[in-house]
């Protein structure tokens, strides 16, 4: 595993695109988690996502691989949700 910090220049869009940090497999094929720009907490994905470096640029960070993660910002689709526990 390694940590990549995106440094892509997004000049061809008319809005601000934030670059984040990604926890990826050594072969760069799967992304296991991310740290949003300006944050110091890592979010771990339920399942590793396909990761592509195509047309993007990154720096490899020399940080310890994170062992502690916060809950992902997306709802786990495998969790049964009712209106009661959604509202609480």
pTM: 0.77
Listed by start position, the domains of the chain span 2-87
pLDDT tens for 30-88 read 999 999 999 999 999 889 999 999 989 999 999 999 988 887 655 555 665 555 555 54
Burial degree of 33 (CB within 10 A; 0-12, 13-18, 19+)? buried
3 state SS for 7-70? CCCCCCCCCCCCCCEEEECCCCCEEEEEECCCCCCCEEEEEEEECCCCCCCEEEECCCCCCCCE
């Amino acid at each position: 595993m390694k940590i990549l910090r995106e440094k892509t220049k997004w000049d061809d869009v008319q809005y601000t695109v934030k670059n984040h940090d990604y926890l990826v497999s050594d072969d760069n094929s799967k992304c296991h988690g991310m740290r949003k720009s300006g944050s110091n907490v890592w979010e771990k994905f339920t399942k590793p996502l396909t990761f592509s470096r195509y047309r993007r640029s990154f720096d490899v960070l020399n940080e310890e691989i994170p062992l502690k993660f916060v809950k992902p910002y997306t709802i786990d689709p495998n969790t049964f949700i009712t209106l009661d526990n959604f509202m609480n």
